[in-house]
Structures are given as structure tokens and as C-alpha cells.
């Protein structure tokens, strides 16, 4: 038995992070109905395989919510649902009669999680993963981000918010509403930088030799001997202490050599992959 067995979820969110959150909830046992517009989810065009993976095991229906018949079909789904996930601007939801207050009145057991770009009262402002990261100093131009940090962090926060709402309802409370702002999700992930821990030259930003990246004979390795016992073991066995000694030693052998050495000696060393 899984934690969310018997829980029905309607997901109106497209792209990311709503579908990623629904995927996680589905793996916990939730039954997910994914509602797409007539033209489908743009994610299917961006990356068909990832789209299929996130929707695996979900019932996918396409509805034009501006049509009375399709709007009625959505109401039928919501009447049986425990949780609704949306990522549409509040004004657009209100025009469809899907604003939070209207839904609470019609479906008193329906928990709701709204994914927005910014927190209220800025919930209708436009933004995207790239701009959230840029505003937080998480980008090093001209390189683009290696992952969609805000979207994936938002997906995790959506899962947490969903579970909290469902738990509160099951404990006898009302079906509540939660808001997940992607800008805030990104900000939470940026706290190590905001506190200066990962800034260039800081403790975890290249400031100490035992937690750093080094060139090997055929690539790069990441050395993360941060805890004293890792550092002591690494330096005592390899007879190194300074940054220059680290650099010279690691450059003499391959990435595979050092990764296997780390596994054998129980020291965190990993090859830096290209992708």
C-alpha cells in the first residue's frame, strides 16, 4: 500500500513544474488525471520523451474549458478529486470560474495548489526559470544554466504543499489552498550563495583544497573531503596538504583512477561528467 492510494488528483498545469509534481504524487499512489488544452502540452514539443515519462500512468484528457460541455467535464473530475494543481495566472482562472473561492464553495473537499511565478500580490507577473535564476546571481554569463532549478524546486515544493493540505484535511480540517511561487522556490535553493558559503573563493566556493575541482590526466574530478575525517584520510595517505600539491598529484592520474581510489578509501571523489 502506498501513502496516496485512493487520492485523486487533477492536474491543470502544463510544462514544468506541475507535471513533475504530479509525477511524484503518482509514484506515491495518487491517481492523476492530466487536463490539457486542445493543442496539448507544449512540453510534448520541447521534449517528447520527458513529457511521456512525466505523464506515465496518468489519464490524459484534452478539454477546451471555454466550451460549456468541456467545462462540465472538468467539473465532474473535480467533484471526485481530492487535489487540484494549477499553474495558470489567477485572472485567467477567474474568467473560467476556477478561482480559489469559487472552487472552495462548489467543492468543499478539494485541496488546491496554485503555482505562480511570484508570490502575492505579484502572482500575475511574468517570469521564467532563466529570469528567476538570473535575479539571484545563479548564472555565470555567457553560460546558460545546466538545469531548470526553479522549476524543479517548485515541483518539490508543490509536492510538499499538496501533502500538507491533504494531511490537514484528513485530520479534520477544511480543504485548504496553497501557493507555490517559483521565484521563492529558486530563492530557497540559492541560500548557500546568499549566505556566502558558495560564493567564489568562499569555503565551498573553491576556498579550500579538500573541497574543490581538479584537472586529472584525462578530464576533471570533484574532491569533496569536507569533513575532518575525510580530509585527514585523504591527506595522510596521499601526503598532500597545499593546493599546489593537490593539483600536481591529481593531474598525474586519470579520472577513473581517482574515482576508484576514492571508492576504495571511502573518500568522496567523482568524475565531472560533461552531461
Q: Which of 161, 192, 223 is the last residue of a domain?
A: 192
One domain for residues 188 and 208: no
Number of separate domains in the chain? 2
One domain for residues 97 and 60: yes
H/E segment holding residue 37: none
| CB environment 185-207: b (16+ within 10 A), e (fewer) | bbbebbeebeeeebbeeeebbee
Residue 33 inside a domain? The answer is yes
One domain for residues 93 and 229: no
pLDDT digits (tens, 9 = 90+) for 127-173: 999 999 999 999 999 999 999 999 999 999 999 999 999 999 999 98
Q: How far apart are CA 17 and CA 208, in angstroms?
A: 36
One domain for residues 147 and 210: no
CATH number, domain with residue 112: 3.40.50.10540
Residue 3 inside a domain? The answer is no
Residue 82 inside a domain? The answer is yes
Residue 211 inside a domain? The answer is yes
Per residue of the chain (275 residues), give pLDDT as tens: 999 999 999 999 999 999 999 999 999 999 999 999 999 999 999 999 999 999 999 999 999 999 999 999 999 999 999 999 999 998 999 999 999 999 999 999 999 999 999 998 998 899 999 999 999 999 999 999 999 999 999 999 999 999 999 999 999 989 999 999 999 999 999 999 999 999 999 999 999 999 999 999 999 999 999 999 999 999 999 999 999 999 999 999 999 999 999 999 999 999 999 87
One domain for residues 251 and 208: yes
Show the domain range for 188. 8-192
Angle at 169 between CA 166 and CA 173, to 5 degrees: 150
Residue 1 inside a domain? The answer is no
Residue 159 confidence (pLDDT): 98
Q: Which of 192, 224, 250 is the last residue of a domain?
A: 192
CATH number, domain with residue 246: 3.30.1540.10
Amino acid at each position: 500500500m502506498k501513502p496516496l492510494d485512493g487520492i485523486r488528483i487533477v492536474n491543470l498545469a502544463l510544462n514544468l513544474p506541475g507535471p513533475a509534481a504530479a509525477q511524484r504524487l503518482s509514484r506515491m499512489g495518487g491517481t492523476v488525471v492530466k487536463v490539457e488544452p486542445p493543442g496539448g502540452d507544449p512540453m510534448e514539443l520541447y521534449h517528447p520523451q520527458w513529457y511521456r515519462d512525466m505523464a506515465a500512468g496518468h489519464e490524459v484528457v484534452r478539454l477546451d474549458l471555454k466550451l460549456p460541455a468541456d467545462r462540465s467535464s472538468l467539473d465532474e473530475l473535480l467533484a471526485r478529486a481530492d487535489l487540484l494543481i494549477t499553474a495558470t495566472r489567477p485572472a485567467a482562472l477567474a474568467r473560467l470560474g476556477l478561482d480559489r473561492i469559487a472552487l472552495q464553495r462548489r467543492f468543499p473537499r478539494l485541496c488546491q495548489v496554485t503555482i505562480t511565478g511570484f508570490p502575492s500580490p505579484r502572482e500575475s507577473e511574468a517570469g521564467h526559470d532563466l529570469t528567476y535564476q538570473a535575479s539571484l546571481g545563479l548564472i555565470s554569463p555567457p553560460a546558460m544554466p545546466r538545469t531548470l532549478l526553479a522549476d524543479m524546486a517548485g515541483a518539490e515544493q508543490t509536492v510538499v504543499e499538496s501533502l500538507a493540505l491533504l494531511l490537514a484535511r484528513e485530520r479534520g480540517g477544511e480543504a485548504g489552498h496553497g501557493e507555490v511561487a517559483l521565484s521563492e522556490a529558486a530563492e530557497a535553493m540559492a541560500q548557500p550563495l546568499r549566505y556566502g558559503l558558495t560564493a567564489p573563493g568562499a569555503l565551498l566556493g573553491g576556498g579550500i583544497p579538500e573541497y574543490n575541482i581538479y584537472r586529472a590526466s584525462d578530464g576533471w574530478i570533484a574532491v569533496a573531503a569536507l569533513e575532518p575525517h575525510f580530509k585527514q584520510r585523504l591527506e595522510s595517505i596521499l601526503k598532500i596538504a597545499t593546493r599546489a600539491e593537490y593539483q600536481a598529484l591529481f593531474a598525474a592520474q586519470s579520472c577513473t583512477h581517482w574515482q576508484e581510489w576514492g571508492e576504495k578509501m571511502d573518500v568522496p571523489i567523482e568524475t565531472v561528467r560533461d552531461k
